[in-house]
Amino acid sequence: MADQRIAVLASGRGTNLQSLLDRTSDGSIPGKVVLVVSDVQGANALERAEKSDVETRFLDYAVFSRKSDYEQALLEVLEEKQPDLICLAGYMRILGSAIVKRFEGRIMNIHPSLLPAFPGLEAQRQALEYGVKVTGCTVHFVDAGMDTGPIILQRSCPVLDEDTPETLAARILEIEHRLYPLAVRLFFENKLESRGRRVYIKEDGI
């Protein structure tokens, strides 16, 4: 199982990437990160990957005349590594249909809300403005929509009266760092079963 291959797409700090790197390194996840791709030059995620001797690629969206050209280039980069799983870790673009179709059922994302509530950007601010008392994070399979794919795992987080978007985001992030590696481990251990929009976890999965 240790030869399972993970490609990660990231646009920012890469803290969820780091949690995956740590858990593959200590054997908690039966696989390895073989590629990190970013659409942001100098993203901290790329630095984290390089420190772990993981191959990195920067794809500059601005040099492509059409979104479809960028997506084709990204698809070719991914195909080179033949990943068993693609993990989005703060990747700020919606994947095109060609990539979603090619790797159907093998792309995960983590989002800082209890989906379907508060999809898209600034989910923590959305939660505060709506006045919810509980939010959290969701790991889901990726489909063609924005944060609309089948839900794998969710964990809740209380919203405190004194919270700001920043303090709430920090607490949710601590949960993300535990939840995302768990979802990846379950995937590689074949303990996830998808039936339509429902993802079932086999009894001995957690």
- Domain spans in the chain, listed from the N-terminal domain onward: 4-201
- Residue 190, classified by CB atoms within 10 Å of its CB into exposed (0-12), middle (13-18) or buried (19+), is exposed
4-201 maps to CATH 2.120.10.30: no
Mean pLDDT confidence for 107-124:
98
Residue 1 has pLDDT above 60, yes or no: no
Compute how many other C-beta atoms are within 10 angstroms of the C-beta atom of residue 180.
26
Q: Of 23, 48, 111, 177, which residue is the catalytic one?
A: 111
**Residue with token string 């159907």:** 104
Is-catalytic flag, 140?
no
Give the model confidence (pLDDT) of 148-206 as tens digits: 999 999 999 999 999 999 999 999 999 999 999 999 999 999 999 999 999 999 976 56
Note whether 108 and 181 are within 8 A (CB). no
Q: Is residue 143 classed as helix, strand or coil in its secondary structure? A: coil
Reported as a pLDDT band with limits 50, 70 and 90, residue 93 is very high
pTM above 0.85, yes or no: yes
Spatial separation of the C-alpha atoms in residues 126 and 36, rounded to whole Å: 29
